[in-house]
Amino acid sequence: MSENVGNATFIIDKTANAAPLGFTGLGLAAVLLSLSYIGVYPVESMIVSMAIFLGGFAQVFAGIMSWKKGDVFAGTAFSAFGLFWFSLAGLLIMPAIGWAETSSGIAMAAYLAIWGIYTFVMLIITMKIGVKALQFVFATLFLLFMLLAFINATGNTGLLVVAGYIGLIMGLGSLYTALAMVMNEIHGKTIAPL
């Protein structure tokens, strides 16, 4: 939308904050994947579908919308982690359809560790942003990636339930962040602290 004042034209940004969509995608996909680690159900098509459509598309869309608003942190974080979910779905689908061999434990450990390192750097950046809910999500996500990397490197699947609970906590924290942002914006004041 634009507004003309005298000879000048001002562009008024009426686009919404995309962060709640990104945190919703992360939260829903993480909660459901984590429940499979805990043993509630196996990794099946529901997990792959959530990884693609909520973890992947929702976060990439949020990242693109954040870039348009000039938010380099949200644009980078949501786009990168959305693409993580697409790659995770690919790691599950490609061996099943014969396009590639299943990744070894050490390959998966490297994959998860590099995502853990990336998440740690993003966590450091959140310290400057100063939003506690954001710091909580990135701290628990970092712990989750590093624990999953350790599990894959060592074959110690006994820790998978612990990883599931960390992922569940992170996913619920992400959903809280998303819903708090929406609630606070709708009410025009802080109802749920961030």
3-state helix/strand/coil string of 131-193: CHHHHHHHHHHHHHHHHHHHHHHHCCHHHHHHHHHHHHHHHHHHHHHHHHHHHHHHHCCCCCC
Among 103, 104, 57, which residue's Cα sits nearest to residue 81? 57
Tell me the C-alpha distance between 149 and 144, whole Å: 8
Task: Give the pLDDT confidence of 104-147 residue by residue, as tens digits.
Answer: 999 999 999 999 999 999 999 999 999 999 999 999 999 999 99
Burial of 148 (0-12, 13-18, 19+ CB in 10 A): buried
Tell me the C-alpha distance between 56 and 40, whole Å: 23
With both helix axes pointing from N to C terminus, report the angle between 59-68 and 72-96 in degrees, rounded to the nearest 10.
Answer: 150
Which residues of the chain are under the pLDDT cut of 50? none
Question: Hey, what are 130's tokens?
Answer: 């100063």
N-to-C CA span, the chain: 30
pTM: 0.89
Q: What is the model's pLDDT at position 5? A: 59
Q: What is the model's pLDDT at position 77? A: 97
Among 193, 177, 192, 132, which residue's Cα sits nearest to residue 17? 177
